[in-house]
Amino acid sequence: VSPVVLLAAAKPLAREAVEAVAAACDELSFILKKLEGYKSPEELHKALPGSTGCIIRSDKADADFFDHAPDLKVIVRAGAGYDNVDLEAATKRGVCVMNTPGQNANAVAELVFGLLLYHARRRFNGCSGFELKGKTIGLFGCGRIAANVADIARGFQMTCYGYSRSGRCQHGTCSMLSSSDELFQRCDIVSLHMPSNAQSRGCVDREKLSCLKKGGILINTARQEVIDEDALLEVLAARPDLTYITDIKPSNVDKIRTALGEARFAQQVVTTPVKMGAQTLEANVNAAVAAVQQIAGYLFHGDNTYQVNVP
Ligand code: 3PG
């Protein structure tokens, strides 16, 4: 019997990516079941029985999810961050969890510069802005996304520093600093590229935020949870020279707006309406097709490269 693969994405993929997933499933004789743009966990839970493989994005896969998936053997998060998956619950039920590292990294890196240029050129309002050439950018977290950011930064003739907890830079593309505080002190722009996990949650705290240089810019295309949002509010209010740029609206955005007032908020905070770092056709195709291939590799050959839970 052909294995059923469920593509469950509350935030739909590009149409071409879904077509590419369908073609890849066809080739592998998988039966593809699609659940896109669903509105409730119940809808998702109803679709799970019978599925051997599952592809998700930031969709929540908690213990309840796995309880509704008695036939599931492998779930792939089409993307990098797997903080939406309860790894322990998956392990308990013998389900392999994988991500697709690097497949959407360039999309996120390009958005960093899209947002940065939008701010640097005063939201295209015609007033004089500033150039990126000659500025220093600090990458907090030095995985594949940071490597893409560093590549683009070099094109702008920026100087690139990095800090990661392991002290390693996955691609050797920037000068590594030995402390994250130093990164905040030395760089004109700090861009966050760490995963959200027990070690990183709230790690951008009051102390680090206060270390930002005069006129400093903090960019967050990683996760809301890595910033202490109360401290962010306080530091933005105390320092009109700072800017916070993100595609993940802070959960206290209304409080920040009230504390700063409309005019300062417009100058100091840049947010997009939705999280959109990985929202490109290329990233959607790369991540989703890689997910199908990883499911096949696991089911047919036991290949667990990119498994992120304890087997
Ligand atoms: C990731 O972790 O890969 C990115 O944050 C993309 O997430 P998304 O699939 O929800 O857009």
Pocket test for ligand 1, best of 18, 57, 247 (most atoms within 8 A of CB): 57
Spacing, Cα 220 to ligand 1 middle (Å): 13
Whole-prediction pTM: 0.96
Q: What is the pLDDT of residues 211-235, one digit of tens each?
A: 999 999 999 999 999 999 999 999 9
Residue nearest (by alpha carbon) to ligand 1 atom 6: 278
Spacing, Cα 278 to ligand 1 middle (Å): 6
In ligand 1, the atom with minimum distance to the C-alpha of 58 is 10
Q: What is the pLDDT of residues 226-269, one digit of tens each?
A: 999 999 999 999 999 999 999 999 999 999 999 999 999 999 99
pLDDT for the residue numbered 172? 74
Q: What is the pLDDT of residues 43-62, one digit of tens each?
A: 999 999 999 999 999 999 99
Residue nearest (by alpha carbon) to ligand 1 atom 11: 278
Residue nearest (by alpha carbon) to ligand 1 atom 5: 81
Provide ipTM, 2 decimals.
0.98
- Residue ranges of alpha helices (H) inside the chain are 15-27, 41-47, 63-67, 87-92, 105-120, 144-155, 180-186, 206-211, 229-238, 253-260, 262-268, 281-301
Mean pLDDT of 85-113: 98
Q: What is the pLDDT of residues 152-181, one digit of tens each?
A: 999 999 999 999 998 888 777 789 999 999
Question: What sign results for the dihedral spanned by CA atoms 38, 192, 209, 135?
Answer: negative
pLDDT for the residue numbered 169? 84
In ligand 1, the atom with minimum distance to the C-alpha of 195 is 2
DSSP for 83-142, please give it: TTB-HHHHHHTT-EEEE-TTTTHHHHHHHHHHHHHHHHTGGGSSS-----TT-EEEEES-
pLDDT for the residue numbered 168? 86
Q: Is 109 left (phi over 0), alpha (psi -120 to 50) or beta?
A: alpha
Mean pLDDT of 12-22: 97
Q: Read off the pLDDT band of 295 (50, 70, 90).
A: very high
Closest CA to 129 of 239, 215, 247, 238: 215
In ligand 1, the atom with minimum distance to the C-alpha of 104 is 3
Mean pLDDT of 24-49: 98
Q: Read off the pLDDT band of 196 (50, 70, 90).
A: very high
- Please state, for a pLDDT cut of 90, what percent of the chain lies above it: 97
Spacing, Cα 247 to ligand 1 middle (Å): 11
